[in-house]
Amino acid sequence: MSIKKKIEELKEELLLEEASRMFEESGYGQMRVVDLAKTAKVSVGTIYSLFQSKEGLYLAYIEHQINNFFTELQQRVSIDTTPKQKMHNYIELKFSYYTHKRKAIEQSATNNPLFFNTTYSEHSKPFQKIYYYLSECFMELNPKLDSESAITMAFAFNGFSDGYISQWLESGNNLLDKVDEVTALFTGMIEGCK
């Protein structure tokens, strides 16, 4: 890899770190690219050359968060972690991420009823790892499931948990209080599949 390419990647990473902080403190609507440029001491043109637009920057932020999420999820799993514990870890971590990053996603999720679907389709590679992780849990919970059924259930489970997040955004209830409920409901559904 050339030095120029490494410099561009480092610049992109540093800008993404600062943009992440700004999205999480101010939200998407209040975050301004010109403010990011001032803070990072780069031109607005530099940011647009790396991310094409504010939306491109936001999508890079989302993908970065997905990758961080998966890394943290893997760190929570040990050899003796049961499938139910894996599911619980997944939901607890997912809900924790959303709780701590509410400002960053609130406007987008509230104003776009297809926010979750759009996010997943535009970032399928990072999510593929998550769907595979969930499908493995489901096949451990219910050995009757084949890999195709398990991956379908992983998509369904993700959508199911997203429904709780959407409701939380509207109600303001404590999302982390729902971890056990979501885990129990979906675990029961998986175990009951034939």
- With respect to residue 103, please indicate whether it lies within any of the assigned structural domains: yes
Q: Can you read off the two tokens belonging to residue 113?
A: 């009823």
- With respect to residue 17, please indicate whether it lies within any of the assigned structural domains: no
In this prediction, what percent of the chain has a pLDDT beyond 90? 44
Q: Is the pLDDT of residue 94 over 90?
A: yes
Q: Render pLDDT for 109-159 as a digit per residue (tens, 0 to 9).
A: 665 554 555 555 555 567 788 889 999 999 999 999 999 999 999 989 988
Residue with tokens 């939901």: 91
Identify the pLDDT of residue 72.
92
Contact (CB, 8 A) for 66 and 127? yes
- With respect to residue 95, please indicate whether it lies within any of the assigned structural domains: yes
Q: Render pLDDT for 4-21 as a digit per residue (tens, 0 to 9).
A: 888 888 888 999 999 999
Q: Is the pLDDT of residue 22 over 60?
A: yes
Identify the pLDDT of residue 2.
85
Give the domain range for residue 100: 55-192
Identify the pLDDT of residue 15.
92
* CA-to-CA separations, 159 to 35, 41, 49, 64, in angstroms, rounded: 35, 40, 34, 20
- With respect to residue 15, please indicate whether it lies within any of the assigned structural domains: no
- With respect to residue 67, please indicate whether it lies within any of the assigned structural domains: yes
- With respect to residue 128, please indicate whether it lies within any of the assigned structural domains: yes
How many CB atoms are closer than 10 A to CB 34?
9
Give the CATH number for residue 82. Answer: 1.10.357
pTM: 0.81
- How many domains in the chain? 1
**Residue 94 neighbours by CB under 8 Å, 6+ apart:** 69, 161, 165
pLDDT tier at 33, thresholds 50, 70, 90: very high
List the single range of 22-31, 36-45, 79-88, 106-115 with lowest mean pLDDT: 106-115
Identify the pLDDT of residue 189.
87
List the single range of 14-28, 60-74, 122-136, 167-181 with lowest mean pLDDT: 122-136
- With respect to residue 147, please indicate whether it lies within any of the assigned structural domains: yes
Residues 192, 17: Cα–Cα separation, whole Å: 43
- With respect to residue 27, please indicate whether it lies within any of the assigned structural domains: no
Contact (CB, 8 A) for 20 and 60? no
